[in-house]
Structure 1
């Protein structure tokens, strides 16, 4: 579940002005949203895409350390009508369009956890590593109209480390229906106590080893976030994409000694080649 400065300026260039959507007969992507990968060009069957991106992001949740990281991009997809099965990175999933205004998605992903050495400054020393594990993600978006100009979004992430829920609203910019353009989402994120303490809690044993105060968090609001996505088709095979995310933590999360910053942020750009 598992970010805004430079790319958000592009949002202002698009502007919050009315735009006329193209006829639905011209639609090639499952939904015309740049955050939803669709490399099928509107055709049934297999699709392959491969690329990479570079991200400038916080070292771990709550960190005040930043660094660059190279990430793979692309996917293997199989489409039939309004349904797509896909394998992307460490996720295996399905998404489907229903009644032109409902986008449903389910996937099994991998949570890499957190390691003590994620902090170059030694801020995590004594806390040990959080466990890796699988997680299930269920998501639904409900558009206000079939041009997907505005929508509501909800997401549930559940796994060995607890549960996280997300609720928000989104806005698409641009007229194209091939998945290019940009979008902005405003979301509220909630977590249960197990998920909260996996990331920001400190047990008595960890407190003795690290010197940090023992901390126990309760379930509730985790953060308010902004997520901006951009995608542009350079030609028939090449795409450029970008994302910026900003997540401002709730007061309880900010009070954790692990949270060295009041926010988490990420900005990234990359290229994808569609075969």
Structure 2
């Protein structure tokens, strides 16, 4: 019920603030997608955004416990032409536009580990903690035309705890080129056996300590997901953003004793001040 209420809130925010976009001067973002923050206002040089978001989400991968969590938002960016270098949270990256219809991105960051204490109900007791790991992500998006109304997406994430592949199709809504508006995408997610077992496997020692059945997973299909992103401007400096994420696990993951649900969900809403 709370997830549904969060979705309704985002839809209402979309309606309330739709008319406020006139405050922007229409300067072009690198790519006019709501999911990619761009604080440069179409100009070369440094740009800064700082804000806060509130997320209502699963406590861990496959959890049936949900809760609210505050997350910092924003980034430090440096733009030169069709290239932006950025630092956001624990991630350092670059994205570049090529031929108006290709967006390439490379990111070095950290994958958040899992702790037994993530479950207030003790669902993870005996499984131990999963360490935070370094990961490297490469992404390519290919638009069908220069206005980025429709696009194809592919991403490969290589990490210390395993590897992930994501393939999707997206649709942008809205007419502006400043990164405001909304978008919707559907993605298929695949992982290797290392990542599958890091997140959903139970080795013999963990089985003995937790009482859960020993579980060894192979790589392959992980999930199908849907993602909605929203971003708009309240005035020259303030942005509002939001997202809704739903990921439905494949049968192998859903059968793991760690997966108390056969899905993961998240609703987020926040504000950013652009300097």
Q: Same fold (TM over 0.5)?
A: yes
Q: What is the CA distance between 1:11 and its match in structure 2?
A: 7.2
Mapped contact 1:234–1:240 kept (Cα < 8 A): yes
TM-score, length-scaled by structure 1: 0.92
User: Gaps (5+ residues) in structure 1?
Assistant: 15-25
Secondary structure of 1:209 counterpart: helix
Q: For residues 27 and 100 of structure 1, what CA distance do their matches in structure 2 show?
A: 16
Shift of 1:138: 0.5
Partner of 1:209: 209
DSSP-derived class of the 1:122 partner: coil
Partner of residue 58, structure 1: 58
Deviation track 1:202-240 (CA, whole Å, cap 9, x = no partner) reads: 000000000000000001100000010000111100000
The corresponding residue for 2:167 is: 167
The 3 A distance-change label for structure 1 pair 146 and 4 is farther
Distance 2:6 2:144 in 1: 29
Match of 1:19 in 2: none
Q: Which residue of 1 aligns with 2:241?
A: 241
Distance in 2 (alpha carbons) for counterparts of 1:157 and 1:206: 26
Per the TM alignment, residue 7 of structure 1 is displaced from its structure 2 partner at its CA by 3.7
Where structure 2 has 5 or more consecutive residues not aligned to the other structure, the ranges are: 15-25
Distance 1:8 1:196, change over 3 A: farther
The reply on whether 1:187 has 2:187 as its aligned counterpart is yes
TM-score, L = length of structure 2: 0.92
Deviation digits for residues 227-257 of structure 1 (CA, Å, limit 9, x no counterpart): 1000011110000000110000000000000
Is residue 126 from structure 1 mapped to residue 108 from structure 2 by the alignment?
no
Aligned partner of 1:49 in structure 2 is: 49
Deviation at 1:8, TM superposition (A): 7.7
Q: How many residues align?
A: 262
Q: Please, what is the CA RMSD of the aligned residues?
A: 1.8
Secondary structure at 1:61's aligned position in 2? coil
Q: Could you tell me which residue of structure 1 aligns to residue 31 of structure 2?
A: 31
Counterparts in 2 of 1:69-218, with a 5 A limit? 69-218=69-218
Per the alignment, residue 223 of structure 1 pairs with 223
Shift in Å, 1:65: 0.1
